[in-house]
Chain A
Amino acid sequence: MSDAATLIETHSLGKSYGKVQALRELSIAIPPGAVGLLGPNGAGKTTLMKLLLGLLVPTEGRASIVGEDPRTRRGRLSIRERVGYMPEGDCLLPNATGVELVSMLGRLTGMRAADAMTRTHEVLDYCQLEEARYRPVTGFSTGMKQRLKLAQALVHDPQVLLLDEPTNGLDPKGRRQMLELVADLAQNHGKNVLLCTHLLPDVERTCESVIALQDGSVKLVAEVAELTRAEGARYRLLVIRNMDAFCDALDPAGVVLEKREGRRCTLRLPDESQSADLLFHLAHQSGAVLESVEPARSSLEEAFLTALQPETQPVQA
């Protein structure tokens, strides 16, 4: 039995397609909430989602989601009632209208005809497809198709949402709309979201924790807040005058210049207890003008890239 505080659990889960090992010895426990599943293409993210839904059979190991085993028929049917899946590909029937497609899938999940229709209109409204609902899918833009896929995943009000690359192919506006919807579902409506993506900012914006996969193995398990926390002794500066003199003054004061790009630089103070006053003092001495000083945050990207370095062991933050 899985732990009540664990939504998804895998034990030595493996999947190979012929000679290609898509997932290997994957053992993770994913808590409820919004979790990002990060990784480059071919890392095994989609395979993991399909294994969780019982759409693939594992070569080895086992998995459970919402306490059910997808390998059994009963488990699969129970999972599919409680989980909403948004596939990555363009899987929509082109001749169907948005309303037809979503209500039909609602009925297939077990909703009564009237419930399915009411619910269809609600989720299409929520996904901002109110005016396009009676148009055939073939005339939808990529953003509308992605939102329609989200709507069909939401129609039966599932406990868990498995979203496979929801921002794929979207323009900045469409991407922002999609991420707002995902964040709203996770933060305001108590949906457990497993967001599969290779875009770090998407995870940073919507998820509480992150799991990074590479070559079918876990490389990083961490809280997003932990990875992006402010580090007391590091600062990012924008220097608009006498940059060279300012940089020369850093070394004698024990301040380490980590990175310099044009007029921007990242510095580390010798002691974590020291405040940024030291930097203003050095700037005053060297005749430099600081336009901005802000605490440096270790970005998710940095953590991710570090985790994906060759020979890196899985990191538990």
Chain B
Amino acid sequence: MKASTHAEIYRPFSGELRTYPMRPLTLALSGIRLGLRKKLPAFLLFSAPVITSLVGAIRVYLMYFFADMMKEEGGLGGRQIGAALEELLGDVSANVVLFVKTSSLFSLLAMTWFGAGMIADDRRLGANLLYFSRPLTRGGYLLGKLVGLMFFGVLTLALPVSVILSTAVFASPDWSFLLRESAVIWKSAIYSGVWILTVSIIVLALSSLVNRKTLALALAFGLVIVLHGASEAAAMLLEVSELRLLSLPYNFEVFADWLFDQPLSTHANPRYSICAIGAFAGAGFVLLMRSLRKMEVVA
């Protein structure tokens, strides 16, 4: 029953419509909100980065804690225990690099899951008609989707990495990590940025090619896992190491080793791998723009 005062009347809008530059942000926020609506996948996909970052942070903290304790206690026994622990736990920077590489894979899972349906579902439902019947440009739509997906990348890679780095900064004696190994911080930022942007573009491009999230998921995992396996096998069988450049994980592995000054494998060429990553991102971007043009204006 409705109150007697209630009247369903049409009220004209007295405000004004702005040339609103942050339209993509509205779209991004909507994508994030809808992505997080299903609790179980979100819980499963975020629990791995959370656990890893907690373990990583504790490990980094313990390294500094034991190093500090041994320094204070001194003595042969203390130094021996310290050396043994150092050998067991390794160098802080190497731990950060290992953590970045591991988290990238969790991030890939999460970004693929959340991004696969972002454009495919719009295509299937025809929601692009709702968006493009507004003053929203193709660029705005792309930016909205990209920012939305990159947010999940930040949650699953950049945020855990920053937790580890912050632990290292605050746990290190006399800010030694910040003063002596600050390069690891900005290198981690660069690696995370390149990873998140490239994966976002590729996942959205695949999502824009099909009408179903499941198909986009299959395409993404096919591109990453099947192509990785196939290129690795082909490179070994044909003894042509350049075939490994077809694998996105391989290229990022080489890129990470080069960026963090880690020893490179014999067949790795960082320059080629960086070009291959650029080619993946470029091809994804071209595909994406082509699909979005079709979604906005069917010529």
Contact = CB atoms under 8 A, between A and B. Distances in A.
A50 to B, nearest CB: 8
B34 A95 contact: yes
Interface stretch (B18-26, B174-182, B241-249, B271-279): B18-26
Interface in B171-222: none
Contacts of B127: 91-93
Contacts of A157: 12-13
B15 A111 contact: yes
A108 B121 contact: no
Given A80-B134, A109-B17, A95 B37 contact: yes
Interface size on A, as a range, is 35 or more
A77 B135 contact: yes
B297 A54 contact: yes
A115 B298 CA distance: 33
A108 B129 contact: no
A32 to B, nearest CB: 17
B44 to A, nearest CB: 18
Contacts of B137: 73, 77
Given A55-B296, A80-B133, A104 B13 contact: no
A111 B15 CA distance: 8
Given A55-B296, A107-B26, A128-B8, A112 B130 contact: no
Given A55-B133, A81-B135, A125-B8, A90 B125 contact: yes
A235 interface: no
Interface string A90-125: 111111100010001101111110010001001001
B297 to A, nearest CB: 6
Given A110-B135, A112-B18, 7 more contacts: A55-B297, A89-B125, A91-B129, A104-B26, A107-B20, A126-B8, A126-B10
Contact of A109 (B12, B38, B134): B134
Interface residues of B, number: 36
Contact of B132 (A55, A78, A81, A115): A55
B27 interface: yes
A93 B121 contact: yes
Interface of B: 8-13, 15, 17-20, 23, 26-27, 30, 33-34, 37-38, 121, 125-127, 129-137, 296-299
Interface string A186-215: 001100000000000000000000000000
B17 A184 contact: no
Contacts of A91: 125-127, 129-130
B23 A189 contact: no
A111 B17 contact: yes
21 contacts: A53-B133, A56-B298, A73-B137, A80-B132, A90-B126, A92-B125, A94-B125, A95-B38, A96-B34, A100-B33, A107-B26, A108-B26, A108-B135, A110-B17, A110-B19, A110-B20, A110-B23, A122-B11, A156-B17, A157-B13, A185-B10
A152 interface: yes
A7 interface: no
Nearest to A184: B10
Contacts of A57: 297-299
Nearest to B27: A108
Contacts of A107: 20, 23, 26
A130 B13 CA distance: 18
A304 interface: no
A108 B297 contact: no
Interface in A57-96: 57, 73, 76-78, 80-81, 83, 85, 87, 89-96
B9 to A, nearest CB: 7
A109 B12 CA distance: 16
A189 B30 contact: no
Most chain B CB within a 10 A radius of its CB, from A53, A109, A154: A109
Contacts of A128: 8
Contacts of A108: 23, 26-27, 131, 134-136
B299 A156 contact: no
A81 B297 contact: no
A260 B13 CA distance: 53
A110 B18 contact: yes
Contacts of B298: 50, 55-57
Nearest to B2: A130
